[in-house]
Amino acid sequence: MTLEVTRLLRIALVASVAWTAAAQAADCPRPGTLGTSRILAVDPAATPRVGLKSFPQTLPLADREVVLTFDDGPWPATTSRVLAALAQECVRATFFLIGKPASEHPALVRRLAAQGHTIGHHTWSHHNLKYMKPADAEAEIDKGIAADEKALHGVATTIPSTPFFRFPYFESTPHLLERLQSRGIAVFGADLWASDWEPMTPQAQLKLLTDRLRIAGKGIILLHDPKAQTAAMLPAFLRYLRDNHYRVVHLVPAPGGPGVARVP
């Protein structure tokens, strides 16, 4: 396949994802649901790094706008429950997948995409890249991207169809940040999180997260779909967002990206 054909296919894919997400955001069969309020196209050239827990800047969100992100999946038992909760409220999220489980559950990866969610990348095996040799860290990133792309599209490539990446443990290095920026891949931190890596009841997690959201007022929220407590908590959290007039923003890649011609 020539580079030009690859570019055209990726432009078409990005446009298709954006159109599908917009259509789904505008049309929910159940009145009174939370829904997805708007689509935000993220251009890695303009916003190479976002999330106030790690970086000075974040996404341009209005008050009471939130972005839902989930790490470390896919994990069939719990990711399926998360998908059901999101579908019930017609909400779209971004899933930062680990390549190894993505390679083991490709049908679930395709299900995530088919339901309108955005697929980002989170390495092959969740190693802490900060303490790896640079070449080994880049190989870990690329192996994860290739596994996610193989699960999604049947072709293993290190050029991501969605150029979104999140570091495990939010541990990066200046070299890796520069390398990802040079490849046109946006790095996502978070603005607040549920601390769901700590064992707690769904009720305690809900209170912790809503208390933090009341203080922050808006932002990129980090959750983990393999956590049973998160899957159990999510329906109540989505109801909280709806009842307290928060709005969910869905992220998609801006037209263009790594190896892709920019659309005028």
252/116 Cα distance (integer angstroms): 10
CB 249 within 8 A of CB 61: yes
Cβ pair 230, 205 in contact under 8 A: yes
Whole-number Å distance between alpha carbons of 100 and 72: 10
Task: Name every residue whose Cβ is closer than 8 Å to that of residue 26 and which is 6 or more positions away in sequence.
Answer: none
71 catalytically annotated: yes
Joined tokens for residue 5: 């054909």
Q: How far apart are the first and last CA of the chain?
A: 24
Q: Hey, what are 224's tokens? A: 């983990």
Contacts by 157-162, CB closer than 8 A, 24 or more apart: 159/6, 159/10, 159/258, 159/259, 160/121, 160/185, 160/257, 160/258, 161/10, 161/13, 161/14, 161/119, 161/253, 162/17, 162/118, 162/119, 162/120, 162/121, 162/252, 162/253
Of 122, 224, 225, 250, catalytic: 224
Write the single-letter amino acid at 78: T
Given 71, 72, 142, 148, which residue is catalytic?
A: 71
Catalytic residue list:
71, 224
